[in-house]
């Protein structure tokens, strides 16, 4: 079960490392999908 949830989390949670909170907020307010909020 733990392995399943680890894989599920890695698949569903977007990568936001080294991305500013302001950039994430702009992406969200701009209508980007949650999976794409950490992309530049």
In the prediction, which pLDDT does 13 show?
82
Predicted confidence band of residue 35 (pLDDT cuts 50, 70, 90)? confident
Q: Quote the number of domains for the chain.
A: 1
Domain containing 31 equals: 2-36
pLDDT of residue 30: 93
Q: Which residue has the higher pLDDT, 2 or 39?
A: 2
Its sign, for the CA torsion 3, 5, 6, 7, is positive
User: How far, in Å, CA of 20 to CA of 35, rounded?
Assistant: 16
Give pLDDT, residue 16: 82
Task: State residue 34's pLDDT score.
Answer: 81
Q: How many helices (H) does the chain have, and how many strands (E)?
A: 2, 0
Chain-centre distance for alpha carbon 1: 23
């Amino acid at each position: 079960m733990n392995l399943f949830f680890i894989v599920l989390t890695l698949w569903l949670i977007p990568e936001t490392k080294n991305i500013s909170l302001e950039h994430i907020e702009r992406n969200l307010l701009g209508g980007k999908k949650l999976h794409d909020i950490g992309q530049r």
